[in-house]
Every structure is written in structure tokens, then in C-alpha cells.
Structure 1
Amino acid sequence: MELSTSVAAQAYARARSAAAPDTGSAAQTTLGSLANSFEATLRSGEETAKATMLGKADPHSLVQALAETQLAVETAVTVRNKVVEAYQEILRMPV
């Protein structure tokens, strides 16, 4: 069976594009949107706390905003801990 050079070149191009590293644009977009959401949650909690101190918001909304902020911070800390744990696991791998 004889392969022409163009068929071999096409197969090489397909294999090369399949093995090319991902640019990470989807991951960057997801990570960026998560960071923006985290920032918005913290900012909302801070604004609600300020409004409550000035008497412009009820205590129930303050408690709700603080609970949302606490959940966001706990989630961020959990993600950070998982990343550190994965990094430490990679460092323990023999080379």
C-alpha cells in the first residue's frame, strides 16, 4: 500500500492539531466570570452592611447578605485548598 505525500501531510496536520495544547480561553473565561461573581457578592454584602448602618436597610437583608458572603468566601477557600493540595501532590511525584 503506497501513501502519497499529500495524504501523509494531511494525516500529520490532523494529528498535530489534535495534539496541540489548548489555549485555555474557555478556562480563562470561566475563571474570570467566577472571580467577577465573587467580587460582586462581596461588594453587595459590603453595600448592604453600609446601608444597614445608615438605617436604609433592614437587619434581615444584612443577615442574608452576610450569609451569601460567608458562603462565597468558604467556597473560594475550599477551591484554593484543593489547588494547593493538587500542587503538593504533583511535587511528590517521582521524576
Structure 2
Amino acid sequence: MKRRFRYWTGFSGRRYLFSVIQPDELRDYEDGVVLLTQNRGEEERHVLWTGTIGDETLSSLIDQAEEAFIHLLAANDEERNRIAQDLTHKLSAV
């Protein structure tokens, strides 16, 4: 059974809770922090991209991703951008 949620840890050491969704479902969201991944084994993932909904790069990479993770708990754009930066600097699945 697939997990619906996953924590990702940023450079700061903070953990962020993400929902696991299909990449094409990202088109249904107006905002959020996104991780796009490709699977390399059951627990190992290669992160293709980290950023926020609305970034132009996202749409060009959705078709390459096998899995998407979305964080919806950030209150505003500033917080979403801070989280995306934190995750970009150090990505480790927990």
C-alpha cells in the first residue's frame, strides 16, 4: 500500500509534511510547494525539481516525473518560497 504522506527535511533541519500525488494532479492546485521525483527503487527517489506552483519550470517537468509531492501548509507566498529554498539546499527523504 502506497503512503499518502511523506516528510522531507530541509537544510535548516526542519521537516515538512507533503501529500503524495500523481504529477498530473498538480494542475488542480493554485499554490503549494512541490517536489517532482523519479523513483530509483522502493524507497530511493531522485528529485527532479523543487519549487512552487506557478513557477514556469514546473509545467515543463511534470511529464518527466513519476511522483509528485505537495506541501499545502504554508500560509503565504513568502513562506512557500522560503520552504522551497530550504528544500533546494538539502533534500533528504525521511
TM-score (norm 2): 0.26
Q: Which one has the bigger helix percentage?
A: 1
Q: Which one has the bigger strand percentage?
A: 2
Q: Which is higher, the Rg of structure 1 or of structure 2?
A: 1
Greater relative CO, 1 or 2 (CA 8 Å, sep 6+): 2
